[in-house]
Structure 1
């Protein structure tokens, strides 16, 4: 029954081509276009400086471009605010579309409420995964274009350590994107509004960003404190990425465990509250 809910939600969502494009393809394509344009602009400026007879060492662009290390770096930056914003377009459509079009009463008789919600969550998780992987793929193409534009050779350092860092960084970025979309699920169930499902996660995420960057240092909270990690999943994701990359003087093992628990908790609590409240709702007019 749960598989049926996932398949049916996938079928419905894929028919909404605008939501699919904006939530999965737009940010990767835009990022690639901006990267290529910036590389060409920088190449042009370097040519102008070369004509100005500057010392050659000032115009060097480096040695071989290491695509393996670039891939690891891209994985850690996959959960960027722009990607999350546009993934929320698709997630909000999934979570609040049946409220918007008053179709809950038509589908609720065909499956359990528990499965219907989890079906939507399953599709939103697949949507988030596709968006993250496409961003990674287009970012890699951007690195290839960078090497071609600046006429740099390529290298590929990707041993066991780099592979482990890449996989874990990609996992943290993916969970971070899913975590924000689950706040949208909670907003959709409690408010029955598509706009609330879209803008509530954004407002919460912006508030947590300012909490971690501006407020916590002012009130003397340290990033390693459990309450700091618990209140700011964005800080928890950054802590995990710092630990995975082995940054000098970075987070300890204990802090990394706190960060992981915070990120998982910010996924499970909104999901649990959404399921609980949805079971209590009257859908006779929805």
Structure 2
């Protein structure tokens, strides 16, 4: 059963504390440390420049509610994507590396075994996102304390809606990115490929939607551009959620195109990985 596959994969991952640390805790911990050090450096320079303890940053109240909404839009940042690959690649390619597929393949159906890994990766992604949100809030509180700024918390219906949409969108983007790792691990049977193929592809897609877009004649709101660059589709949907002048300038129908791009890049690698996995000979794996 699928539930059995998820439980077994979750248990195996939790035993690998190194992968869990690098995937879930490393980026948030480093973000807090770097943020606090940066604020302390700025404050110390303010003392030297002004001759008194005067902050260089604005001294108004720090809205922790609005900061939380802003942090929800940063949950699919490159650092989280890169380090979550460690846990995802370990799950997806671990049985190939340790040649344990033949020991477990008789206990469940092949689609369930692969979907069990995907389910645990989603839980890992959710855990990493929640820890990052906590770390961002700690960094904001530290910023207010260092610069001696009062704190407020505005989180009404509008902020809650934006937070929910940005959180879900970030979750979809991270999972979509990690689906490339699943397909790479299944096709190549390599942990190294599961780690680096998504990164290389992500860089290539960023060039397609950035420096190479003009020479190739790719417009930001076109079907082809959004389909080739799911990262651009993610950024487009973020701008639409946040509103403002950038969202108002976007062409009609761009939201549906961006959603379709993320859906294709999420479901197509999963379907291809399952189809390939069903045909593999695991007698020596």
**TM category, shorter:** over 0.9
1:52 Cα deviation from its structure 2 partner: 8.5
Deviations 1:187-241 (A, max 9, x none): 0000000000000000000111111111113333221101111010000000000
Residue in structure 2 matched with residue 11 of structure 1 by the alignment: 11
Q: Distance in 2 between matches of 1:215 and 1:166?
A: 33
Conserved 8 A contact 1:50-1:59: no
CA distance in structure 2 between the aligned counterparts of 1:62 and 1:248, rounded to whole angstroms: 27
Gap runs ≥5 in structure 2 = none
Equivalent position to 2:116, from 119, 122, 125: 119
Q: What secondary structure sits across from 2:253 in the alignment?
A: helix
Whether contact under 8 Å (2:59, 2:147) holds in the other structure is no
CA contact (8 A) 2:73 2:170 kept: yes
For 1:115 and 1:14, how far apart are their aligned partners in 2? 20
- Distance in 2 (CA, whole Å) between partners of 1:267 and 1:249 is 26
Instruction: Please tell me whether the aligned partners of residues 243 and 252 of structure 1 are also in contact (alpha carbons under 8 angstroms).
Output: no
The size of the alignment, in residue pairs, is 283
- TM-score w.r.t. the length of structure 2 is 0.96
Matching residue of 2:22: 22
Cα deviation, 1:246-273, whole Å, max 9, x if unaligned, reads 1214235510111011111100000000
Name the residue aligned to 2:260. Answer: 261
Are the counterparts in 1 of residues 43 and 56 from structure 2 also a CA contact under 8 Å? no
CA distance in 2, matches of 1:120, 1:47: 53
Report if the CA contact (8 A) 1:23-1:89 is conserved: yes
Q: Which moved more, 1:87-96 or 1:132-141?
A: 132-141
Find the aligned partners of 2:57 and 2:122 in 1 and give their Cα distance: 43
Give distance in 2, aligned partners of 1:248 and 1:137: 30
| 1:143 and 2:137 correspond | no
**Does the CA-based 8 Å contact 1:36-1:146 persist in structure 2?**
yes
Alignment of 1:22-41 (within 5 A): 22-41=22-41
Q: Distance in 2 between matches of 1:68 and 1:162?
A: 8
Note the C-alpha offset of 1:155: 1.3
State the Cα distance separating 1:98 from its structure 2 match: 0.1
Asked if structure 2 preserves the Cα contact closer than 8 Å seen for 1:223 and 1:229, the reply is yes
CA distance in 2 between counterparts of 1:21 and 1:252 reads 42
2:129 corresponds to which of 129, 132, 142: 132
Q: How does 1:78-97 map to 2 (within 5 A)?
A: 78-97=75-94
Match of 2:161? 164
Deviations 1:65-111 (A, max 9, x none): 01111111111011111111100000000000000000000000000
**Residue of structure 1 in register with 2:279 after alignment:** 280
Tell me the residue number matched to 1:188.
185
Structure 1 position 75 matched with structure 2 position 69: no
Q: The residue matched to 1:214 in structure 2 has which SS?
A: coil
- Structure 1 unmatched ranges of 5 or more: none
TM-score with structure 1 setting the length = 0.96
**What is the CA RMSD across the aligned residues, in angstroms?**
1.5
